[in-house]
Amino acid sequence: MLDEADDDNAGEAPLDMLEAYFLAHGWPCERGEDEITASIKGSWTEYELRALWREEDGVLQLLAFPDVKVAEGRRAPVYEVLALVNEQLWMGHFEIWSSSGILLYRNATAIEAEDGEATMALSTAELLVESAIDECERFYPVFQFVLWGGKSPSEAIAAAMVETAGEA
């Protein structure tokens, strides 16, 4: 299924494309009528990706959960670091669900319907999924520095944004 979608002009229904993408990478996934969930092993933790398709609006929402829960008493510094992190992103954003304290990355994209059928190209699926994983991987240490490392939000973002040059 994914091989057939290699041509960027080819497309499939958004959840079908994501399912093919997840399966091609060997990521376990579960499919419902309007959503799909997959588990992806990252460098720092296992991420749950959840895609929700709203056909009536033509919107695909992708959520990535980096397995971080923020206790109510620790939310103020995390909200501050969220502002610093989110200004670094070119698409999507991080947030905390107020009811549970769960940290997540969220992105939504409009999928145009052609001839009444919404289709998504492989390149779009790759961009959405890889961006979510990359941003979770990039900023996971920032949240850990604030939650467990005793760092201020500005110290945490500065420590995590240090880029190494070359290879060891």
Average pLDDT over residues 82-107: 94
* Domain covering 3-160: architecture: 2-Layer Sandwich (3.30)
- Across the chain, mean pLDDT equals 88
Q: Around 6, how many Cα atoms within 13 Å sit in the side-chain half-sphere? A: 3
Report the candidate in 99, 93, 118 with the shortest Cα–Cα distance to residue 12: 118
Residue 55 has pLDDT above 50, yes or no: yes
Gap between the Cα atoms of 155 and 81, Å rounded: 10
Alpha-carbon distance of 120 to 9, in angstroms, equals 9
By the 8 A CB rule, do 140 and 44 touch? yes
Domain residues of the chain, as ranges? 3-160
**What is the pTM assigned to this prediction?**
0.85
